[in-house]
């Protein structure tokens, strides 16, 4: 059973702080890694993807991938109340199938 | 900006009734995915189409669920009969083709409530 694990949270951070979201995966053949943001009652929205080891930055978001440790993370700098949502980690395994974690609920307090 | 379209957005049905959902992928996208997301969980793949062919339906409860994509464009997911445990968000996504490097973008989803 290929799995993607995330802390369910909730993760609570003050406005302006850095939020750090973590994800581990079990399939060593995984090649693509995605972070989705999902507001309550809405569909998931793709915010970051990463394919290679290292860091990838897009605005306030940084995705970090370590394939040796089977670990991917998302950092949100200068967190805003509008960032409050559930963040889903998703991994494409060796069979091209996208597997999601259960998500981490992030709350940014004004 | 091209988007995945889904309808209806909300559906309330009684147990044992039939229900159907429709998805229109981004124009030109050959691969279409149906997911189910139960509250508090991540989306789970139900079925994947490449053009009009099913390439993965291993998690589709085939005794009550069916899916089709007759002309390789839009798709319909049907449940008959609906059960209380089918209450969930049903999501559709599409990509140009299957592969690791394609990002999946979701439609707005259909929220199903079975009473």
Report whether pLDDT(A1) > 80. Answer: no
Using a CB–CB cut-off of 8 Å, the residues of B that contact A are 33, 40-45, 48, 56, 89, 91, 98-101, 103-109, 111
Report whether pLDDT(A9) > 90. Answer: no
B18 burial via Cβ count (<10 Å: 0-12, 13-18, 19+): exposed
Q: Which residues pair with A46 in a beta bridge?
A: A36
Q: Give the one of A32, A44, A102 whose C-beta lies nearest to B41's C-beta.
A: A102
CB within 8 Å: B33 and A4: no
Average model confidence (pLDDT) for chain A?
Answer: 94
Rg of chain A taking only CA atoms, in angstroms: 13
Q: What is the three-class DSSP state of B85? A: helix
SS3 sequence, chain A? CCCEEECCCCEEEECCCCEEEEEEECCCCCCEEEEEEECCCCCCEEEEEECCCEEEEECCEEEEEECCCCEEEEEECCCCHHHCEEEEEEEECCCCCEEECCCEEEEEEC
Residue B57's closest CA among B41, B46, B65?
B46
What is the per-residue pLDDT for A8? 79
Please identify which residue in the block is written with the tokens 């200068």: A78
Hey, of A46, A96, A101, A103, which one would you mutate to test binding to chain B, going by the most B CBs within 10 A of its CB? A96
Q: Give the number of C-alpha atoms closer than 13 A to the C-alpha of residue B54, restricted to the C-beta side.
A: 16
For residue B105, the chain A residue with the least C-alpha distance is A46
pLDDT in tens, A53-86: 999 999 999 999 999 999 999 999 999 999 999 9
Count of pairs with CB atoms under 8 A, one residue in A, one in B: 47
115 residues of chain B, pLDDT tens digit each: 689 999 999 999 999 999 999 999 999 999 999 999 999 999 999 999 999 999 999 999 999 999 999 898 999 999 999 999 999 999 999 988 777 668 888 999 999 999 9
Hey, of A44, A51, A89, which one would you mutate to test binding to chain B, going by the most B CBs within 10 A of its CB? A44
CB within 8 Å: B106 and A43: yes
What is the per-residue pLDDT for B100? 62
Hey, of A32, A41, A43, which one would you mutate to test binding to chain B, going by the most B CBs within 10 A of its CB? A43
What is the per-residue pLDDT for B90? 98
């Amino acid at each position: 059973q290929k799995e993607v694990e995330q802390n369910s949270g909730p993760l609570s951070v003050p406005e302006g702080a850095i939020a750090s979201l973590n994800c581990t995966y079990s399939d060593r053949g995984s090649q693509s890694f995605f972070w989705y943001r999902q507001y309550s009652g809405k569909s998931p929205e793709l915010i970051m993807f990463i394919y290679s080891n290292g860091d990838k930055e897009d605005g306030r978001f940084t995705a970090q991938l370590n394939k040796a440790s089977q670990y991917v993370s998302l950092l949100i700098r200068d967190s805003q109340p509008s960032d409050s949502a559930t963040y889903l980690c998703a991994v494409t395994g060796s069979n091209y199938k996208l597997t999601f974690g259960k998500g981490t609920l992030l709350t940014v307090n004004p | 900006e091209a988007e995945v379209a889904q309808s209806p957005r909300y559906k309330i049905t009684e147990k044992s009734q039939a229900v159907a959902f429709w998805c229109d992928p981004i124009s030109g996208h050959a691969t279409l995915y149906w997911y189910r997301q139960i509250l508090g969980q991540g989306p789970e793949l139900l079925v994947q189409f490449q053009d009009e062919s099913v390439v993965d339906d291993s998690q589709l409860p085939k005794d009550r669920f069916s899916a089709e994509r007759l002309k390789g464009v839009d798709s319909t997911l049907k449940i008959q009969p609906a059960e209380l445990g089918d209450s969930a968000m049903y999501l559709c996504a599409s990509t140009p083709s299957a592969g690791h490097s394609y990002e999946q973008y979701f439609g707005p989803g259909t929220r199903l409530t079975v009473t």
